[in-house]
Every structure is written in structure tokens, then in C-alpha cells.
Amino acid sequence: MMDVFDALAHPVRREVLRLLRAGPMSAGELADQFDVSKPTMSRHFATLKEAGLIQSEKTGQTIRYRLNMSVAQEAAALVLGLLAPRGNWQEDET
């Protein structure tokens, strides 16, 4: 899960995930949304892919990315769990 949080640490990668919520997009379509070089975008895609947050499919010369919802949902659940009230749990004062 540490790879997921490392991937989410960068605003460009978070925006890529937000864009992919609407559906699969090609690498070129995604790269056009950002003012960064193509090699930089490729590194962002690789980081997201290594974390399992996106999946890719190559058709001819085109790579299409899509959001891997199961990993994204698992990360969201973990964060929400960290923010949830602890209920009746109390820290041992001894």
C-alpha cells in the first residue's frame, strides 16, 4: 500500500486518476491535459501503474489507461479508516 500513497503524493498523478474516473483515455489524451514533457508523463504513468492504480492496454501504437477501481477503493477505505473515530478505544495511560 506504500506504493499507492507514494503515487498519490504528486498532484499530476492525482489529476490523472481524476480524469480516468470518466473512463479510459489514451496516453496522448492524458498528456495533452498537462504542461509537462512526454517523458515526465511516462514516468507518472509508470508510477501509477506500479502502484496498481491504473492499468494499460496497448492497441497498435496507442496505449490506453484506465483506473483500477479495486486498488483505488482499497486506498480510500484505508484513509477513511484512519480518519474515523476510534469508538470506545482508549489509550492505556500506564
Sign of the Cα pseudo-torsion (20, 22, 27, 32, in order): negative
Backbone φ, ψ for residue 80 (5° rounding)? -60, -35
* The pTM of the whole model exceeds 0.85: no
Mean pLDDT of 50-75: 91
Map out the domains of the chain with their CATH numbers.
2-71 (1.10.10.10)
Where is pLDDT greater, at 20 or 75? 20
Structure-derived torsion over alpha carbons of residues 28, 15, 11, 51, reported in degrees to the nearest 10: -80
What's the pLDDT score for residue 27? 96
